[in-house]
Amino acid sequence: MQQTQRLTWLRTSDPRRLASLWWQADSVRREAVGDEVFLRGLVEVSNICRRRCAYCGISAEHKGLERYRMSTEEVLACAHTAVRLGYGTVVLQAGEDPGLTKTRVSDLIRQIKEQTDLAVTLSLGEREEDELAAWRAAGADRYLARFETSNRELFDRIHPPLNGQPADRIRLLRTLRVLGYEVGSGVMVGIPGQTYDDLARDIEWFAESELDMIGVGPFVPHPVTPAVKLPAAAPEQQVPNSVEMTCKVVALARLACPKTNIPSTTALGTLDRENGTELGLQRGANIVMPNLTPHGYRFLYEIYPGKANSQDSPADVREELARRIHGLGRTIGAGRGDSPHYRAGLAAAAVCGEAE
């Protein structure tokens, strides 16, 4: 698809035209990755963070926030809950916490792998290559690191350098690919200062960078963060942080990357509690990431407000999700739910290897 066409989709609000975008994305999703929705159990292992991201509620700037790091035993208990609920993957997410050392995380991954058949996804921020290599060697399967926006100047404004070193998430994604991870990235939609052109470029970048997973969520302002005071772009340029705009990006991401795993994100479900999860699933998504973090910690991992509201038990959350997914005529996927895009890459590499 041409960039001008993407821009036209991003700018249209005509419900009849949009119905055709939703239909196209849903058809491509069905054909490329099928009707199964895969569930990933999310464990927010630490809210300690050395970064000062302008958008994030657990930034090091948030001085009053009580900090925690889960013990290995606590995380393992969550992994066993994931198994009991039939999830094929556990996602370990955290602030950029230096206390999650190479050894500690390697040990945790090894224990999860010894005790379960779960796929392990990491989302621990920008870490050193030797750490990423060790975690991969310990058995980690996937890594998530959103590039947040392809507008470099905007990215630097919202994701300040650490010790004078500007973040380089594109390089990080390349390193992860070389190490053999299934690589996930993505963006927030409606960051103050983000334009339609920026968003169209983000989608182009999804396709060019051959991502295995793409996460797209609306920017949800957190009152304690500086992002609420960031200047917006000119009114005709500024992208809204709406459910509809997020769904457009999900749909266009599916059209650009048919075989990629795309979640209906928690942020989308937070913005529209009634229907957000379903809308994402009907407009290109095939993954949901239910939260398994113990309640005592969950409300401290408030990257944006309203996220941690559910007091329901993991089993109740699983049941509620099953109801929503079956309501769409879809099924819950069994097993790991590896990215079909990643699997296709492995198969192609194997064929090339044979040819040599």
Binding site for ligand SAH (CB under 6 A): 55-56, 93, 95-96, 123, 125, 145-146, 148, 188, 217, 219-220, 222, 267, 303-304
Asked if 280 and 22 count as a contact pair (C-beta separation under 8 A), the reply is no
Instruction: Say how far apart CA 20 and CA 24 lie, in whole Å.
Output: 6
Closest approach of ligand SAH to the CB of residue 220, in Å: 4
Asked if 40 and 90 count as a contact pair (C-beta separation under 8 A), the reply is yes
Q: Smaller CB distance to ligand SAH: residue 38 or 304? A: 304
SS3 readout for 181-195? CEEEEEEEECCCCCE
Closest approach of ligand SAH to the CB of residue 180, in Å: 20
Q: Smaller CB distance to ligand SAH: residue 24 or 209? A: 209
Q: Smaller CB distance to ligand SAH: residue 291 or 330? A: 291
Closest approach of ligand SAH to the CB of residue 5, in Å: 26
Q: Smaller CB distance to ligand SAH: residue 80 or 102? A: 102
Quote the longest CA-to-CA distance of the chain.
59
Closest approach of ligand SAH to the CB of residue 348, in Å: 28
Tokens representing 204 are 């182009």
Closest approach of ligand SAH to the CB of residue 233, in Å: 18
Asked if 141 and 182 count as a contact pair (C-beta separation under 8 A), the reply is yes
- Identify the residue whose tokens are 């980690």: 140
Q: Smaller CB distance to ligand SAH: residue 28 or 215? A: 215
Instruction: Say how far apart CA 68 and CA 51 lie, in whole Å.
Output: 16
Q: Smaller CB distance to ligand SAH: residue 118 or 267? A: 267
Closest approach of ligand SAH to the CB of residue 117, in Å: 25
Instruction: Say how far apart CA 147 and CA 93 lie, in whole Å.
Output: 16
Tokens representing 109 are 């991954």
Instruction: Say how far apart CA 233 and CA 226 lie, in whole Å.
Output: 16
Asked if 120 and 89 count as a contact pair (C-beta separation under 8 A), the reply is yes
| Residue 135 one-letter amino acid | W
| Burial of 131 (C-beta count, 10 Å sphere; 0-12/13-18/19+) | middle
Closest approach of ligand SAH to the CB of residue 225, in Å: 7
Q: Smaller CB distance to ligand SAH: residue 26 or 44? A: 44
Q: Smaller CB distance to ligand SAH: residue 37 or 267? A: 267
Q: What element of type H or E holds 44? A: strand 36-46
SS3 readout for 235-247? CCCECCCCHHHHH
Instruction: Say how far apart CA 280 and CA 85 lie, in whole Å.
Output: 22
Q: Is 245 left (phi over 0), alpha (psi -120 to 50) or beta?
A: alpha
Tokens representing 255 are 């059209």
Q: Smaller CB distance to ligand SAH: residue 215 or 333? A: 215
Closest approach of ligand SAH to the CB of residue 304, in Å: 4
Closest approach of ligand SAH to the CB of residue 41, in Å: 16
